[in-house]
Amino acid sequence: MLGGYVSLSRIGPFKDIQDILLYLLILSGVFVLATLWLYGVVWVSEKLYPSLLNLAQVTLAVVLCLLLPMAFFQKTRLWSGFGMIVASYIIGLSLWVLSVLVTIKIWGIGGFLIGLLLSAGTVVPVAFLASVLNGLWSSVGDLLFGVLITLAPRLLGGYLLARSEPTIQ
């Protein structure tokens, strides 16, 4: 028929089977991609953690030796607060990677997946719980210290930003 279109509607008993197979194929693809992503996160975490730990240590030294003294002066308070917030995210990334590794070593990929699903992407509470339940007290101490040195600069930086006067008018 000229000017029209050919209908490719699927009629017959195979329509339902084709739909089911298509949905199963899509579901399998999503499962494979999610599994590859999980193993990729673990692999990247294992490779990057030593460097992230060094970066977090340098960042903590910068916070203590440079940004904290800058907070006492009104003219540098804004920069100190901003620097502390950025530093808290760097230290927080190191804490997240440590938590991924602790969770994987103790509870495996299933515990990591449960941690991602139950705690909205952060595995820090899951790593803490896994460490406590298995009696790994040094790991518990490392995680608590990581939470402390992540939250302290973030809270102090936010406080400093709220108390500082804008330098650009």
| Spatial contact of 51 and 41, defined as CB atoms under 8 Å apart | no
State the distance between the two ends of the chain, measured CA to CA, in whole angstroms: 71
d(CA 137, CA 128): 10
Asked whether residue 6 carries a pLDDT value surpassing 60, the answer given is no
pLDDT of residue 153: 94
Of 89, 114, 87, 88, nearest in space to 100 by CA: 114
CA angle (38 as vertex; 35, 39 as ends), nearest 5: 90
Transcribe 40-104 into DSSP letters. Answer: HHHHHHHHHHHHHHHHHHHHHHHIIIIIHHHTTSTTTHHHHHHHHHHHHHHHHHHHHHHHHHHHH
Answer for the pair 107, 130: CB distance below 8 angstroms, yes or no.
Answer: yes
Q: Do residues 166 and 78 make contact, with C-beta atoms less than 8 angstroms apart?
A: yes
In angstroms, the CA 51 to CA 97 distance is 11
CB 164 within 8 A of CB 74: yes
Cα 133–Cα 138–Cα 141 angle in degrees, nearest 5: 90
In this structure, which amino acid lies at residue 120? A
Res. 158: pLDDT tops 60: yes
pLDDT for the residue numbered 163:
83
Q: Residue 164: is its pLDDT beyond 60?
A: yes
Q: Which candidate, 55, 54, 87, places its Cα nearest to that of 68?
A: 87
What ranges do the domains of the chain cover?
43-163
| Counts of helices then strands in the chain (DSSP H, E) | 5, 0
The secondary structure of residue 65, as a DSSP letter, is I
Closest Cα partner for 142 from 38, 41, 56? 56
pLDDT of res. 42: 79
pLDDT 10s digits, 109-146? 888 888 777 766 678 888 999 999 999 999 999 999 99
Residue-level pLDDT at 55: 93
Tell me the pLDDT tens digit for each residue of 10-58. 555 556 777 788 888 888 888 888 777 777 877 888 888 899 999 999 9
Residue 169 confidence (pLDDT) = 56
pLDDT computed for residue 150 by the predictor: 93
> Is residue 151 scored above 90 in pLDDT?
yes
Q: What is the mean pLDDT of residues 155-159?
A: 93
